[in-house]
Amino acid sequence: MNGRRSHTRPTLVDVAEIAGVSFKTVSRVVNGVATVDPVLAERVREAAAEIGYRPNQMAAALKSGSSTAMIGLVIKDISNEFYAAITQGTAEVAAERGVQLITASSPE
């Protein structure tokens, strides 16, 4: 695994390690800053594509201070067909509207 940390979603650090550049260089490429050498920028884009890196939209919105559309859904028993259907329907409608859905379960 070339020394990469093991996690499910690739990060800027992972892209930097593969491209052989600094974290900051990857950040500049991802954010479209024009000061990065075109050859380096292409190497970063190739590394990002290789590992399936995608920017985290929620993190970007939080960092920029812009608002994020988010709702929470707390379900008693997700294994219950009734509650599972509610969760699925809510997730579909939220996705259609570009809203982040956060789900949790609770015994009460």
Same domain, 74 and 51: no
At 86-95, the pLDDT tens digits run: 999 999 998 8
Q: How many residues does the chain have?
A: 108
SS3 86: helix
Residue 3 within any structural domain of the chain: no
pLDDT value for 96: 87
CB of 35 closer than 8 Å to CB of 28: yes
At 6-54, the pLDDT tens digits run: 557 899 999 999 999 999 999 999 988 888 999 999 999 999 999 999 8
Same domain, 25 and 50: yes
pTM passes above 0.85: no
Structural domains in the chain (count): 2
CATH code of the domain containing 27:
1.10.260.40
Which residues span the domain enclosing 93?
70-105
CB of 2 closer than 8 Å to CB of 17: yes
Residue 37 within any structural domain of the chain: yes
pLDDT value for 97: 84
Using CA atoms, how far apart are residues 28 and 48, in angstroms rounded to an integer? 13
pLDDT bucket at 1, cuts 50 / 70 / 90: very low
Using CA atoms, how far apart are residues 1 and 14, in angstroms rounded to an integer? 11
Same domain, 23 and 51: yes
Residue 26 within any structural domain of the chain: yes
Residue 23 within any structural domain of the chain: yes
Closest of 76, 61, 71 to residue 101, by C-alpha: 71
CB of 91 closer than 8 Å to CB of 101: yes
